[in-house]
Chains A and B, each alone.
Chain A
Amino acid sequence: TQLLEQSPQFLSIQEGENLTVYCNSSSVFSSLQWYRQEPGEGPVLLVTVVTGGEVKKLKRLTFQFGDARKDSSLHITAAQPGDTGLYLCAGADGNTGKLIFGQGTTLQVKP
């Protein structure tokens, strides 16, 4: 059974601070996606990483896929209150296309 361990589960920081969220697994994934979800809404796709070692940047967000395609990280620079939400990583099972979700990280950025 594929599992994706996401940490931390909760994070409360002040505006302007930096943070990193981690997703780790013993399994290899075809790709890994990061989503952000606000209360009462569906997850919004932020990025997909496919190649081992890949780094993608989305404004103040930097996403990295591990060389072995088993882990990923999301780094936010100078967090803003608008970054508040539930962050989900999800690895794709190459055989079935199913997404294996991490437990999620609830981020609160205080002004």
Chain B
Amino acid sequence: DTEVTQTPKHLVMGMTNKKSLKCEQHMGHRAMYWYKQKAKKPPELMFVYSYEKLSINESVPSRFSPECPNSSLLNLHLHALQPEDSALYLCASSQIQGYSYEQYFGPGTRLTVT
């Protein structure tokens, strides 16, 4: 099973709302990632969690707040977003040991900020 699930599939929120994106994997992967992707562009890394601890924050604004409650779950809390934050948000997971660093992506959440 190489499935990463994400909910919701689509989200529309106002600039004053608070919402959360959820991601789940059951592959036993101990690294999980959040990416932001604009149309026809490659994914841009936002955060990396290794063994449930935040290991990389790519200078993401504080209106994005990640959380890793356990080894299978990853959340991204959103607050006071801007219209330019509208994008496809992707979650991914991978093994930590080894050298292939294969990442498996979820289907994404299409976020629109109005």
Show the binding face of A for B, using Cβ within 8 Å.
30-31, 33, 35, 40-45, 48, 50, 86, 88, 90, 92, 94, 96-99, 101-104, 106
Contact = CB atoms under 8 A, between A and B. Distances in A.
Given A41-B107, A90-B103, 16 more contacts: A30-B101, A31-B102, A33-B102, A40-B108, A42-B107, A42-B108, A45-B104, A86-B40, A88-B43, A92-B100, A97-B31, A97-B101, A98-B56, A99-B101, A99-B103, A101-B42
Contacts of A97: 31, 48, 94, 96, 101
Given A86-B40, A98-B48, A50 B108 contact: no
Of A43, A90, A94, A98, most buried by chain B (CB within 10 Å of CB) is A43
B40 A42 contact: no
Contacts of B90: 42-43
Interface residues on B, range: 20 to 34
Interface string B87-99: 0101010101001
Interface of B: 2, 4, 6, 31, 40-43, 45, 48, 56, 88, 90, 92, 94, 96, 99-108, 110
Nearest to B99: A30
A95 to B, nearest CB: 11
